[in-house]
Structures are given as structure tokens and as C-alpha cells.
Homo-oligomer: A and B are copies of this chain.
Amino acid sequence: MSTSRRAEHYHHGDLRHALLEAAMAMLEAEGAAGLGLRELARVVGVSPAAPYRHFDSKGRLLEALAITGYQRFSTAMWAAERQSAPARRIGAMGQAYVRFALDNPNLFRLMFSPELKRDGRPSLRLAADAAFDTLKAVTAALPEGEKRVAALRAWAQVHGLAVLLLDGQIALRPGEDVDALVAAVIGAG
């Protein structure tokens, strides 16, 4: 009885999944720099070497987390697109973008971290490209020649707002909420 717990999970069952789950929690709690592979192994209850059966390196683990992040981001953006009337679409998607960043600060930072794409993994690029494709819905109604610049402008505005808010560079005024600020800034763009 006393050995069954360990024995039944010696081949952990789903160590890869358990690692990802715990790592995502640690990422959000402490940031990518504070996510230690040894500490992660400790939390999950395996030896320091065990994670290497499932991830070649810490970078690959972070990459997997970032891909999950891009998928969640895509879901949030498509939901905002679907649930809004065409006239409100730009605002709704911009607000969804900023809200995702503020709700998942360390995951969002990881998704844009330069350490990630060192060796340009294709699965990461694919997930990121799919995520940013959601933004193109915003410029669908514009004439062809203006699409690129309009899309970049909208993206830069909303991404800039997100990271400046995230880093505490923009202070919200008393009574001001994020949605109102986003609406004011991108509304006249």
C-alpha cells in the first residue's frame, strides 16, 4: 500500500502533461526567469533528469508553453471577433488583445520573448502566425492598398498599449478602466 503511489506512477503516466501544467503555473507566478527545471521536477515529484525525457532543454519547455499561449490568444481573439457587430469589431478585438496581455502577463511576455525563437522552430512560428492572422479580420473591409499599413497601425497601437500597461509605464487615471483607454486610443486611429 505504501509503495503503490510511487510504483503506479513510476512511469508517471503522463509526466509530459504534468510538467506542462506545473510549468504554466510557475510561469504565471514567477515569470520565465523564475521557472527552474529542477524546481519544476521537485514540484512534480520526479528527479532533476526526468524532464529531459520529454523536453530537450528548458528552452523547448518554454517554447511549448508559448505555443499554448498563442493558441489561447487565438481563441480569445476569434471569440471577440465573433461576438461583436462589424462596426464594433476593431474595438472589441483591441480590447481582447490588451486584456489577454493583462490577464496573462508572464505568458504574454514569454510569447514575445527573444530567447524563444533563437533557432526559429517552425511549430512556434506557425502558432504565432495563426494568432496574428486573427488581426487581419480587422482590415478586411478596407481597400487593398491601405490594408498593410492600417493593419500594422492597429497592431502597433494595441501591442504598444499592452506592453506599456504591462510594464506600468502608462498609469490609469482614477476611475479609468482599460477598455475605455483602449477605445479612446484606437478609436480615432
Interface size class of A (residues with CB under 8 A): 20 to 34
Which residues of chain A have a CB within 8 Å of any CB of chain B? Answer: 31, 33, 105, 109, 112, 114-115, 117, 128, 132, 149, 152-153, 155-161, 163-164, 166-170, 181, 184-186, 188-189
Give A165's nearest chain B residue, CB to CB.
B156
Closest Cβ of chain B to A111, distance in Å, is 10
4 more contacts with CB within 8 A, not counting A114-B167, A132-B169, A156-B160, are A117-B168, A152-B170, A153-B188, A155-B160
CA distance A81 to B144 in the complex (A): 34
- The contact sample of 24 A-B pairs, CB cut-off 8 A, is A31-B115, A33-B33, A33-B115, A112-B167, A114-B166, A114-B167, A117-B167, A117-B168, A132-B169, A149-B184, A149-B185, A152-B170, A153-B186, A155-B160, A156-B158, A156-B160, A156-B161, A157-B160, A159-B160, A159-B163, A159-B164, A160-B160, A160-B163, A163-B163
Contacts of A33 in B (CB 8 A): 33, 115
